[in-house]
Structures are given as structure tokens and as C-alpha cells.
Amino acid sequence: MSTELALDRCMHAQNNLYSLGPKCRNEREKAAWADCIELYEHTIHKINKTVDPHTKCTPVDAQTWLSSALTNLETCKSGFVDFGVTDYVFPLMSNNLLQSSNPRANVVVAQDGSGDFRTVSAAVKAIGKRSGNDRYVIYVKQGTYRENVEIGSSLTNIMLLGDGIGRTIITGSRSVDGGSTTFKSATVAVVGDGFIARGITFRNTAGARNHQAVALRSGSDLSVFYQCSFEGYQDTLFVHSERQFYRDCDIYGTVDFIFGNAAVVLQNCNIYPRNPPNRTNTITAQGRTDPNQNTGISIHNCRVTAAPDLRPVQGSVRTYLGRPWKEYSRTVFMKTNLDSLINPAGWMPWSGNFALNTLYYGEYANTGPGSSTANRVNWRGYRVIRSASEAARFTPGSFIAANSWIPNTNVPFTSGL
């Protein structure tokens, strides 16, 4: 009953939202409003799935989808905050993936005209609405594709298959300073469930001084990124919502460069803080706003080391594991090698005492010169995890139910610690 009530209120709020468009005073307000329109559509879709008697919905599915619905509303607000608009008015408020390790391409993208399309966007647009749960593979040949790509909620089980990191590159330059909201600054944005990317570099070239500039945003449930690179500065990788898994990937950035409110595990990845303009790096900014959300960032068996541009000056730069973007921010680093660039305090406040008692930040069995917890912060929400059973809650098998869907993708993963 409460879910049905939430759906009714959300639909009422959406109707009110449409009427606010003409009241926007400038292009930036219109951009934030447009984000809200899209996000409310996704929210209604997710809540519908929890109440539809014909949709398979486990308690974990329902919690995931409702967590995403709440995240969408927060993202709607954030668009206005991006532009410093404080007097805004807005309404308040399947496991089938890949079956083959050597996928056969449905279409080929090639800049030289040797494929079916010259741009990734054209290949996506040509798909139209899909029926069935079969995989649809877009093979993107080696090249640098300067475009912004959106894979919408109706496009499920899509795969972008590239020729490898640094060979197939999709790059854009949208940023908040350039007039986009954080949400819409993404070079590639994916919402359709069951998305997989392999062998692709996702890049945002807005630069270190243009503030939020996303390379990849995923709101795709049961999405997998394998052997990919994410390159940017502030807000590089937007793990927006739903269940996500990253394996053997590279992530580059400066401020909050792995952020969002998905339930996400990064495993066997390389994390490269870069040289920041303000001499401070924060690797993560997790966005859980409610303690009932099953979301968080789990970094498992990864490596954190300075990017080439940071190495010569890393002694003068403070690099932290994360800071609490939202009140119930939850992040863990487990069995990860932390190089000497990590500040001894480990974690950085967001603003004063905000969220220091309500966050959940944990470290378990990390190694390397930056892994000592002797001088870590003494916040109530921070803990050195000593129990293997507590740490196991954040492994792929437990945190994102990996055993039920990742094997079908043929992407390697370790289920437990």
C-alpha cells in the first residue's frame, strides 16, 4: 500500500513538474528542469516495477528499485544546486544478460565508413525499441569518437564492445561550468538494464577547473564494466543508482571522482588520483540519503596510486579515500593496496560535522604504505573492520548478489573475500 501511495504521489508530482517548465527563468534552470523530467520518468518506471504483479520482484529487487527512485529525486535537486539556484520550486516528493564470451556484433561502428555507422550515437538511435532479452552488441572499432551517447531505459541488454583501453575512446567535454548539470554532463550515460561495456575508454576533457564533468554515468541495473577506463577530473565516474560491477578497470580523477548512490563493487581496478588545482583529492563521495537504502561503494582488491601528473608533486597534495556527500554515505576499501599518497587521516569531512556520526566508512585488510590506520579519523561512523564476516557483507556475492547474474556475462569475478 505504501508503495502504491508513493507511485500515486510521484505521478501527481510529475504532472505538476511539467507545468513548471515555462516558469524557468534562464537556460540553466531549464537544463535542471529537464533533468527532473527525465528522472521522474525513471522513478515512476522503477516504482511501477515493484507494484506490478506480473514483474518478478524479490525483496532485494524492490529495495534496489526504491533506493534508485529516492536517488533520482536527490539528483533532481542537485541539478538546481549545481547552478546555485536556491529558490527553485519543484515537486517533492531481470537477470538475463550475456550468454557468450565471444559476442557476435549486431552492428559495427567505424569512423572510416567500414562499418554500419560512423558514430556510436547513430548505432544506438537505430536500435529503436527492443523486445526480448537477447543481447545486442555494438562493436566500436578503434578510434576516437567525439560525441555524447545516451542509452535509455527501453534499451536493455546492450553491450558496447571496443578494441581496448586507449584504442576505442568515446570523449566529450560537457561540464557544470559549461552549462550542463552534473547529471547531463556525462559523455556516456546508460539507464537501460543489463548494460555491459568492454574494452572502451570513457573520457571527459572539460578539464580540472570546470568543476563537475562526468565521463560515464550508469543507472543501469545489473550493469558490468570490464577492462574499461574512465578519465576525467571532478566527478569522473557517476555510479548513479542500481546494482553495478566494475572489473579490471582504470579510473582517473581529482575531486569525488567515484561518486553516486548505486550498490557497486569495483574489483581488481586501478584508481589513479590526478594533480588537482586546489591541492586536494577525494577519491569517493557516496550519496546514500536514507539508512534503508542498500547502496554503497565497495572497493575490493584494487590499487590506489598516483597518476603520472601527480607523482612529481604528490607530497604537496592531500589525497583522501573519500568524503560524505550525503548523510548516510557508505564506502569500504577492502584488501586494496594504498600507496603513500593517501593522507594519514584517510578521510575528509564534507562540511563541519555533517554526517560524521551517520556515515559508514570502513577499511579491511588493506596493504601498502598508505594503509596504516594508526592516525585515521576518529568519527563515530568510521571503523577499522576486523571481522571477516562484516567485511564479507561488501563482497560481490553479498552486496550485489553477484552469483545470480554476473556468471551469465562471462566476466571474471571473485564472489567472496
Which residues make Cβ contacts (< 8 Å) with residue 210, sequence separation at least 6? 175, 176, 177, 178, 233, 234
Grid coordinates representing 155 are 534499451
Residue 193 appears among annotated catalytic residues: no
- In 3D space, the residue among 269, 230, 262 whose CA is nearest the CA of residue 246 turns out to be 269
Distance CA 9, CA 6 (A): 5
Collapse the DSSP code of 10 into the 3-class scheme (helix H, G, I; strand E, B; otherwise coil) and give the result: helix
Burial of 130 (0-12, 13-18, 19+ CB in 10 A): middle
The one catalytic residue among 221, 256, 290, 339: 256
CB atoms within 10 A of CB 114: 10
Which residues make Cβ contacts (< 8 Å) with residue 400, sequence separation at least 6? 243, 244, 245, 263, 264, 265
Which residue type occupies 201? T
Distance CA 223, CA 189 (A): 12
Strands of 88-215, DSSP E: 107-109, 136-140, 143-146, 149-151, 158-161, 168-172, 188-190, 196-198, 201-204
362 contacts 397 by C-beta, under 8 angstroms? no
Residues involved in catalysis: 256
